[in-house]
Amino acid sequence: MRHRRKGRQLGRSSSHRKALLRNLASSLILTERDEAFFDGMTQADGSTPVNPPRVKGRITTTLHKAKEVRPMVEKCITLAKKAIPHQDAADALESDADPGSSAWKQWRESEKWQQWANTVAPAVNYRRRAFAMLRDKEAVSILFDEIAHRFTDREGGYTRIIQLADVRLGDAGKQAILEFVGKNDRVSTKSAKPAFVDDAKPATEEAPASEEKEEVVSEETTDTPEAPAEEKAAEAAEEKAAEEKTEE
């Protein structure tokens, strides 16, 4: 039974698995390097140039590896976020003089340096803890100097996993994308209802039609012919006969 044995073995020993996850996490962070870093770099043959990543902050791996390395990346970002207030406070106390100069030596021997050292100590501790997980100094510097400041207003959920439809050639393994959120977000917008020209015509044509109906009704009321004179005379005679009967 696998009681209290969480995580995936990924078909590797513990040391191999830790190295694999460490390299995946470092690779995701190192994709944020500037493109100028790859200028002049060549592969082992000495002629093929090294191309920068197509999309920064994104790697493609198998689905199970992505699910396993994601918590590790999230923990590293959390450590970097915790170091931001301590580093900002230490930067305000740091001397602007060049290292080795007389002004810097004077600041180094003063109480301000001791105050700066006590303030920056937690930030250094967080960097050391992140380095113990990644074992890559360049990845740690990018994590603390660039990536952590993006997620200052976000409480967790710094990465996402997107499963790909295409499987990996060879073993048909499920592939997935692991990327940072907030940079390659997909925004879904609702399309506006199209306005056709024919829709506006009936509204304008209804008004003349109602006017024509009113004209027809008015014409019918005004053009009704009067009753003929013979009918009026017959009605008058009937009325006189009725009056004579009542008198008798």
Residue 224, CA distances (Å) to 61, 211, 215, 229 in order: 91, 21, 14, 16
Q: Which two tokens stand for residue 12?
A: 């590797």
Selected from 3.90.1030.10, 3.40.50.300, 3.10.450.50, 3.90.1150.10, the CATH number assigned to the domain covering 14-180 reads: 3.90.1030.10
172-219: pLDDT as tens digits: 999 999 999 987 787 778 888 888 876 555 555 555 555 555 555 555
Q: How much is the pLDDT for 200?
A: 53
Q: Which two tokens stand for residue 37?
A: 């870093």
Instruction: Please tell me the distance from the alpha carbon of residue 226 to that of residue 90, in angstroms, as a whole number.
Output: 108
Q: How much is the pLDDT for 47?
A: 87
Q: How many CA atoms lie within 13 A of 142 on its CB side?
A: 17
What number of other Cβ atoms are within 10 A of residue 112's Cβ? 14
Contact 158, 181 (CB under 8 A): yes
**pLDDT confidence band for 242 (50 / 70 / 90):** confident
Contact 175, 61 (CB under 8 A): yes
**pLDDT confidence band for 107 (50 / 70 / 90):** very high
Instruction: Please tell me the distance from the alpha carbon of residue 73 to that of residue 86, in angstroms, as a whole number.
Output: 21
The residue ranges of every structural domain in the chain are: 14-180
Instruction: Please tell me the distance from the alpha carbon of residue 203 to that of residue 245, in angstroms, as a whole number.
Output: 65
Contact 127, 140 (CB under 8 A): yes
User: 27: closest CA among 68, 48, 56?
Assistant: 56
**pLDDT confidence band for 246 (50 / 70 / 90):** low
Burial class (CB in 10 A: 0-12, 13-18, 19+), 227: exposed
Q: How much is the pLDDT for 35?
A: 86
Q: Which residue has the tokens 């879904």?
A: 188
φ, ψ for residue 178, nearest 5 deg: -115, 120
Instruction: Please tell me the distance from the alpha carbon of residue 88 to that of residue 152, in angstroms, as a whole number.
Output: 13
Burial class (CB in 10 A: 0-12, 13-18, 19+), 10: middle
Share of the chain above pLDDT 70, in %: 84
Q: Which two tokens stand for residue 177?
A: 């994308």
User: 185: closest CA among 162, 163, 165, 155?
Assistant: 162
